[in-house]
Chain A
Amino acid sequence: MNLKKILIGSQSGGIFLALILMCVLISSLTPRFLTDTNLLVILNQVSVNAILAFGVTFVIISGGIDLSLGSMLAVAGVVAALFAKSDGGNVYMALLMALGVGALMGAMNGFTVILSKVPPFIVTLGTMTIARGAALIISSGRPVSDLSESFNYLGNGDLLGVPIPIIFLVGTYLVCHFVLTQTVFGRYVTAIGGNETAAWVAGIPVAKVKWWVYTLSGIFAALGGILLSARINTGQPNAGLGFELDAIAAVIIGGTSTRGGKGSMTGTLLGVLFIGVINNGLDLLNVSAYWQQVVMGGIIILAVVLDSVYQKMKR
């Protein structure tokens, strides 16, 4: 993908510019920002949010929403930790169980959304609470620690110098981008978000596709949960509080329409990086804790406004 195409051809041009501007601004304020180790740190930090955001991008493009990401992440993180204990745990079993649990919760979301016709906002809000409770029940409310070295390697290890979470980040991006743009499934998801009735009349198996979309979101949340647990070496039942909002914010900042039917994984990746860069920059500049939240919110609003102005100018 060349630069011109991102800037002019795609929906993500505005956010790409905003990201560049942000990087220029921060690096002019501190020399610590534009170093290769710091850039690696940023990528490492955003990996979990990115994976959640990729999953929920499918949901949002299909015209839905998933608020249960953070809670599903916690359940999967705890389950993974329980199966990855240093005494007698098995990493593969842990991965399998956690992803399975994520898929199951996502599938339940999809099932309820399709059958009940209740807005996904409400359904996943319910799941958010249920899953949070489930995480506490499974872990008896305590962090699950003493995890095996091979499990922790997933969060802190590296492969040929590249930290494992970054490999996951790049891998999931490539897969999701491919699925969204090059497959029948991706086309169907976008069509449903664009006009659900017309998609149904055109013979698209709308219910099946929607079910898959929510299931995928659950699986990605679980993957995020596994990485987070591995990164902090514990399965925390209260992990991921509010993560759904970060992920959704990244998707929206990346130019995906909240009404569905339009969006890209590249946009989401840029949105995730944008949030990550601001977080990192605010810490590097040692902005006071109280002000961080104000600045963060202000910048996000500014970015979205700039983007909409940019999109209008393009026409």
Chain B
Amino acid sequence: MECRVEGEKPVLELNQVSIAYSGTPILHSIDLSLYPGEIHALVGENGAGKSTLMKTILGIISPDKGEVIFFGQKRHHQSLKQIMESGISMIHQELMLIPELSIAENIFLGRENELGFWPWERKKNAQLKTAELLRDCDIPLDPATLVKNLSIAEQQLVEILRAISQRAHLILMDEPTSSLSEKEITLFRRLIHKLKNEGVSILFTSHKMEEIFGFSDRISVLRDGYLISSSNKENCTEQEVVQQMVGREMNQFFPHREVQSGDISLQVKGLGIPGLFQGIEFDLHQGEILGFGGLVGAGRTDIGKALAGLLIPQEGEIKWKNQLVKFKNPQEAILQGIGYVSEDRKEMGFIPEFSVQHNLTLSSLLDFQRWGILDKSKEKETAEGHVSRMKIKTQGVNQQVMYLSGGNQQKVVFGRVLQHLPEVLILDEPTRGIDVQAKFEIYTLMAELSKQGKSIILISSDLPELLHMSDRILVISKGKQTATLKKEETNPAEIMSYAMK
């Protein structure tokens, strides 16, 4: 218990907190405490109640039973402004920045009166204070840059800076690293330790085991609204945590698969789009899983898009079943048997207002019609087949996809892609932001698909995932291919060294 001094009072205490939404219990008598300078990981599958718990601590939701005590005071339902002034701040999974404002303006949004009276005075002070903050944290950004010109990862850092500048005693972070690359995670780690040394407590959620064990002092596991365990990091293992999360034994996180490769299905030579990537060359075999490693922004996503018809390559050639192909749009790629799962699930993966059924059949609708008229019973049958086979958790095939959890949304996207019977699958960050159970199911699915002889390109920033699932790994750095490594012969350090080359 490195962080606890005997007799020190906790910053935050939860006593028997219970919450129910319209009769459905979400949290059951949660007891939890946080001490100054403690970094606390809250883990659990999606739907376990993590977000509700965080919102309760923040004060957006009042508990039905029990109490939340912060610095000895009972917390009530509060307005956003009161919350901001109370010393707790929250970093949401969806970014809450205003794209048209600068970094400095975003950081001091709503607190401009701290900066002086006159607008120019405020502007100057915001600029100065932000510059100082950025320097302190070793982030090489200009305070005047507009947020819309930042990458998602940089925006995430700005959110964290905002919380720091509010001098919060407790910062809640909902999956803070889901869109950060390895390099930025290192930066993030430094930020966290800086905060810890200043005595700030942090409660964060994450699905990545190495972060959960790498950052935190204590780990609490939630499952179905119950607090299963809350123990110091030293006293538990990865295996145990996963087991507690899913509630059953999970022998192996990554499914076992035998490396097998058949004939060449996709051949890529000298592929390039000026400004994005160039000189990409590889052969993809049937039944092979080829990993794309590298930092976020290295061009991996663009290569995937170029293979799936979302971008049109300007150099080089793609040979598909020994024939040159040039896809002008995703439709042509799909008709040729190329399946694509985007990293940007919300923007490119599904139609939010469509039902599960309608999303599942969207790419293969022409198989469910005659003379343009839909055969809805056949459609429903197929959709129900996917739902039961992939264990999609939904109230039924008519449930709108926007109300599903991230993991189930991703399963729907997979179902849609598989329904158009692709022979090659390009998967861009297929397990980002989804819970452990769904992750495992997607890995199993990938193994099964490769066994059926389908080729898979796996673009991933999650190194364990990349190493375990791929047969070979192509490392991309700054738009160029820096290495092609065999799974058995490489290790994370080697991949990173090529990724930074």
Q: Are chains A and B native binding partners rather than an unrelated pairing?
A: yes
Secondary structure of the A contact surface, majority rule: helix
> Which residues between 196 and 213 of chain A lie within 8 Å of chain B, taking CB atoms?
197-205
| Neighbouring B residues of A197 by C-beta, 8 Å | 347-348
B420, CB-defined interface residue at 8 Å:
yes
Q: Which one of A187, A202, A204 contacts B374 once the chains associate, using CB atoms below 8 Å? A: A187
B232, CB-defined interface residue at 8 Å:
no
| Neighbouring A residues of B420 by C-beta, 8 Å | 203
> Which residues between 362 and 397 of chain B lie within 8 Å of chain A, taking CB atoms?
362-363, 365-366, 369, 372-374, 376
Q: Which one of B340, B342, B374 contacts A183 once the chains associate, using CB atoms below 8 Å? A: B374
Within the complex, the shortest CB–CB distance from A11 to chain B, in Å, comes to 11
User: Could you tell me if B330 and A202 are in contact, using CB atoms closer than 8 angstroms?
Assistant: yes
| Contact bitstring B344-372, A, C-beta under 8 A = 1, else 0 | 00011111111000100011011001001
Total interface residues in chain B, CB < 8 Å: 30
User: Could you tell me if A201 and B330 are in contact, using CB atoms closer than 8 angstroms?
Assistant: yes
B416, CB-defined interface residue at 8 Å:
yes
| Neighbouring B residues of A198 by C-beta, 8 Å | 347-351
| Neighbouring A residues of B333 by C-beta, 8 Å | 203
User: Could you tell me if A185 and B354 are in contact, using CB atoms closer than 8 angstroms?
Assistant: no
Q: Across the two chains, which residue of chain B brings its CB closest to A194? A: B351
B331, CB-defined interface residue at 8 Å:
yes
User: Could you tell me if A205 and B331 are in contact, using CB atoms closer than 8 angstroms?
Assistant: yes
User: Could you tell me if A184 and B362 are in contact, using CB atoms closer than 8 angstroms?
Assistant: no
| Neighbouring B residues of A190 by C-beta, 8 Å | 351, 354
Within the complex, the shortest CB–CB distance from B160 to chain A, in Å, comes to 29
| Neighbouring B residues of A195 by C-beta, 8 Å | 347, 350-352
Interface centre among A195, A198, A199 (most CB of B within 10 A): A198
User: Could you tell me if A194 and B352 are in contact, using CB atoms closer than 8 angstroms?
Assistant: yes
- With A198-B349, A261-B351 as given contacts, are A203 and B330 in contact (CB-CB < 8 Å)? yes
Q: Which one of A185, A187, A205 contacts B358 once the chains associate, using CB atoms below 8 Å? A: A187
Q: Which one of A184, A194, A201, A205 contacts B353 once the chains associate, using CB atoms below 8 Å? A: A194
- With A183-B372, A190-B354 as given contacts, are A200 and B329 in contact (CB-CB < 8 Å)? yes
A262, CB-defined interface residue at 8 Å:
yes
- With A182-B374, A183-B374, A184-B374 as given contacts, are A203 and B351 in contact (CB-CB < 8 Å)? no
User: Could you tell me if A199 and B362 are in contact, using CB atoms closer than 8 angstroms?
Assistant: yes
| Neighbouring A residues of B362 by C-beta, 8 Å | 187, 191, 199, 202-204
| Neighbouring B residues of A203 by C-beta, 8 Å | 330-331, 333-335, 362-363, 420
A-B contact list, 22 entries, CB within 8 Å = A184-B365, A184-B366, A184-B373, A187-B365, A187-B374, A190-B351, A190-B354, A191-B358, A194-B352, A195-B352, A197-B347, A197-B348, A198-B347, A200-B330, A201-B349, A202-B362, A202-B416, A203-B334, A203-B420, A204-B362, A261-B353, A262-B353
